[in-house]
Amino acid sequence: MALNPPSTGLASALVLVSSGVWGLFWLPLRHLEDSGVDGVWSAFLLNMPVALVLAVVVALRWDVNRAEFRHAAAIGSVVGLGMGLYAAGLIYSTVLRATFLFYLVPVWATLIGIVWLDEKAGLLRWAAIAVGLGGLLLIIGQGGGQVPMGIGDVFAFFSGIFWAIGAAMIKRFDTVRVEGMALFQFLAAGFSALLLGAVAGVIGPPDLSAMIAGLPVAAATSILALGPSVIAIFWAQKFLFPGRAGLLMMSEVLVAALSASILLPGERMQGLEWVGAGLIVVACLAEVLLAPSDKPHGN
């Protein structure tokens, strides 16, 4: 049964703002690394506190339905793998380059939406994608720091593909409750980051004293920022086609680029990069203000 949709503007605004929160995800990752939490262990530490909270919520409030449980597990695992790849990309590449590679999402999401969800991508959608990706290409061509291309860039590239698949699944199975999807997402993100580090041979044993010392910051970030923003995005994506949601999530690129430019000396943005950032804003605003409302699946 299809959900009674809110206004497209409300759902779009939630995705726009919540994605902006994720544009600062690199900050606690780098803070934990600087505090002695090695590599992808910082991603694991950031995902586990909110996963424990959600596990309690699900246990207390969720009457078990096998079909919904399977869907929640599948969606959460796919999106979680995408986020684990993204976190590993941020750790092993530069903030800017990892974020830009992830944000090929609108392309993957629109293609998946057309094939699987019968999404109708009009001229405005394709124009917004072109403008947004043009902005990304300007920034990539001018910046990204001096770190050579490596395994982190591979992680970041595939992170966007898995996120786009997960977004299509959220839209397709729009009656699955967000707390279940979010629980599996955070679990999958934390453990997949460790698995990726092991496969790539870039993970060592955890420094338990550093992890304990970093737990208060990780728990506060996880429970107060990451959890609410993911739940808001999941809920909103029930009512938005993946291509539209992917464009709106470009606000994360802008926040990440601005914050990294200000706080990381090797990643400061220059003239054409600012033009690229402006194009990203134009793409987001065009999608929010000018595109027709998405129709909920099944109608």
pLDDT in tens, 147-173: 566 788 889 889 988 988 888 888 788
Stretch (H or E) spanning 166: helix 151-172
Q: What is the mean pLDDT of the chain?
A: 81
pLDDT, residue 289, reads 58
Most confident of 51-55, 205-209, 290-294: 51-55
Most confident of 159-168, 197-206, 220-229: 220-229
Number of domains in the chain: 1
Please tell me which residue, 205 or 191, carries the higher pLDDT value.
191
pLDDT, residue 267, reads 67
Is residue 251 included in any domain, yes or no? yes
Please tell me which residue, 106 or 45, carries the higher pLDDT value.
45
> What domain range includes position 211?
15-290
Encoding tokens for residue 184?
């599996």
pLDDT, residue 119, reads 67
pLDDT, residue 87, reads 92
Rounded-to-integer distance, Cα 272 and Cα 283, Å: 17
Please tell me which residue, 139 or 215, carries the higher pLDDT value.
215
pLDDT, residue 295, reads 46
Is residue 295 included in any domain, yes or no? no
Encoding tokens for residue 143?
């910046």
CB 158 within 8 A of CB 85: yes
Q: What is the pTM of this model?
A: 0.81
Residue 87 CB partners (closer than 8 Å, separation 6+): 25, 29, 40, 43, 46, 189, 193
pLDDT in tens, 90-113: 888 888 888 877 877 777 777 777
Is residue 122 included in any domain, yes or no? yes
> Does pLDDT of 130 surpass 70?
yes
Provide the angle, in degrees to the nearest 10, between the axes of the packed helices 66-92 and 41-61. Answer: 160
Give the closest residue to 43 by CA, choosing from 24, 28, 22. 28
pLDDT, residue 168, reads 84
pLDDT, residue 220, reads 95
Give the closest residue to 200 by CA, choosing from 158, 164, 161. 158
CB 78 within 8 A of CB 162: yes
Is residue 57 included in any domain, yes or no? yes
CB 89 within 8 A of CB 101: yes
Which range (3-7, 38-42, 119-123) has the least confidence?
Answer: 3-7
Is residue 229 included in any domain, yes or no? yes
Is residue 5 included in any domain, yes or no? no
Encoding tokens for residue 288?
């929010």
DSSP assignment of 210-239 equals: HHHHHHHHHHHHIIIIIHHHHHHHHHHHTS
Is residue 177 included in any domain, yes or no? yes
Encoding tokens for residue 41?
């262990």
Binned at pLDDT 50, 70 and 90, residue 86 comes out as very high
Is residue 2 included in any domain, yes or no? no
pLDDT, residue 299, reads 38
> Does pLDDT of 205 surpass 90?
no
> Does pLDDT of 2 surpass 60?
no
> Does pLDDT of 284 surpass 50?
yes
> Does pLDDT of 40 surpass 70?
yes
